[in-house]
Structures are given as structure tokens and as C-alpha cells.
Structure 1
């Protein structure tokens, strides 16, 4: 059985994966529609599984309120990962 590999996406990859340019990407984070990055030293990155989950929610037509709750849940789950 293959393990799910979670990659850490730097901005360019996360932006490309969501189809959002820089300004729109950071506005979505501020609005709670995308999770904030995690810090890796001086760098920032986004867990690939979180970006995938958010993309699937947008594709499924979830409301902004539902996506905000999903983002909140994903960020809270970071504390319990590992």
C-alpha cells in the first residue's frame, strides 16, 4: 500500500496549483479561503494535501463559508499532525 506523500509547496507551486496569481493568492489567505503558509526557516510553504483539499472544495462548488470552515479545520489539524 502506497503512503500519501505530503509535499511542501513553495509559493510558485502553490500559486500554480490554485490558479491564483500572487495578489489574489494572498488575498484568499487573508479572507480565510486558503490556509496560511508554514515557516521552514526563512522560507514559507504550503502542505500539498491542504491545497488539494481546498481545490476539491472549490471544484465541488462549496460556499465561501464552507471553505473558510474547511481552512480553519485544516489549520487546526496541523497541531495534531505527525
Structure 2
């Protein structure tokens, strides 16, 4: 099963969040953690980001 990975600019575009907000929410445990690909290279699983966005949409639909 292939896993699609998203780099930070793609995650920002899909979520509408800034880089500082992404990292602050990750620190608080409110946003998915990235996969470490190298010393200074990370990416997020597309499925994690999609699930997170859908959970936010559900929360706001009340």
C-alpha cells in the first residue's frame, strides 16, 4: 500500500494554517506529527491530514 506524503507547504495549503500554528498545535498534541525522512526533512501522511481536516469539519457542524 503506497503512502502519499505531503510537505509543509502542501499541508499549509490544505489546512489554511501557518507554519508557526502547525508546530504549536503539534507541540500541544492537536495536530498530527510528521514522518521524519532525514535530518532536516519531514512530511505528513496525506491520510493523517485528511482525517484531521474531516474531524475539524465534524466538530464545526454541530
Give TM-score, length-normalised by structure 2.
Answer: 0.82
Q: Deviations over 1:20-78 (max 9, x none)?
A: 0111111111111111111112310000000000000000007xxxxxxxxxxxxxxxx
Greater C-alpha Rg: 1
Choose which of 2, 10, 15 in structure 2 pairs with 1:13.
Answer: 10
Q: CA deviation at 1:6?
A: 3.1
Question: Relative contact order (alpha carbons < 8 A, sep ≥ 6): 1 or 2 greater?
Answer: 2
**Runs of 4+ residues over 2 Å off in structure 1:** none
Q: Does 1:24 align with 2:3?
A: no
Unaligned runs of 5+ in 2: none
C-alpha separation in 2, matches of 1:36 and 1:6: 15
Give TM-score, length-normalised by structure 1.
Answer: 0.64
Choose which of 47, 53, 59 in structure 2 pairs with 1:49.
Answer: 47
Give the root-mean-square deviation of aligned CA atoms. 1.7
The number of equivalent residue pairs is: 59
C-alpha separation in 1, matches of 2:12 and 2:51: 14
- The structure that is strand-richer by fraction is 2
